[in-house]
């Protein structure tokens, strides 16, 4: 005599009845897919935390270079460039720490998408105006003779970062999160 167990509310739809019928392929397929999505969420959260923290740390001890980089965009006055140069490094570090610790994960990623979008707009406008600038993303970098390829690469990289942040809004990795 075999007994059939009632499915639990916490079981995925594909796993219901699998144990009772002896067919574990539905459950194992769900577990594999779930784990793969967890890995993507883990990478998105912690890689973006690393990106924000490393970008902010690179700017901490280079106030003058960061101010000059911001001024090169020809958007802000020298006073605003100075203020932004003082703020941007600590704010990037703060955003990275929020992701690292798992505090307000979705909100932190929304802010990250807004900031990355503004970075893309700034780089695109400099590119379209023919300005030769260093983006200043990770400190002062050497420019090549033709920075147009660097602009496209930087914009593409930021689009990937936006995709990772959007994924973290959709499916945040909440394990080890203090206040997700």
* pLDDT value of position 33: 86
Mean pLDDT, 10 residues at a time, over the chain (180 residues)?
A: 45 44 59 89 98 96 94 96 97 98 97 97 94 85 68 95 98 94
pLDDT at position 43:
97
pLDDT for position 144: 63
pTM (predicted TM-score): 0.80
Which residue, 38, 39, 37, 47, is CA-closest to 165?
47
């Amino acid at each position: 005599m075999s007994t059939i167990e009632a499915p639990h509310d916490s079981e995925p739809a594909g796993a219901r009845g699998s144990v009772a019928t002896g067919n574990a392929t539905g459950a194992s397929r769900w577990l594999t897919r779930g784990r793969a999505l967890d890995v993507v969420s883990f990478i998105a959260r912690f890689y973006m935390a690393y990106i924000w923290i490393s970008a902010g740390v690179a700017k901490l001890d280079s106030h003058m270079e960061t101010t000059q980089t911001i001024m090169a965009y020809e958007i802000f006055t020298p006073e605003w460039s100075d203020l932004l140069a003082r703020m941007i490094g600590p704010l990037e570090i703060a955003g990275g720490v929020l992701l690292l610790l798992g505090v307000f994960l979705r909100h932190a990623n929304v802010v990250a998408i807004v900031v990355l979008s503004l970075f893309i707009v700034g780089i695109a406008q400099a590119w379209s105006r023919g300005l030769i600038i260093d983006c200043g993303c990770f400190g002062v970098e050497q420019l090549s003779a033709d920075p147009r390829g660097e602009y496209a690469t930087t914009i593409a990289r930021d689009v990937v970062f936006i995709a990772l942040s959007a994924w973290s809004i959709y499916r945040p990795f909440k394990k080890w999160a203090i206040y997700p």
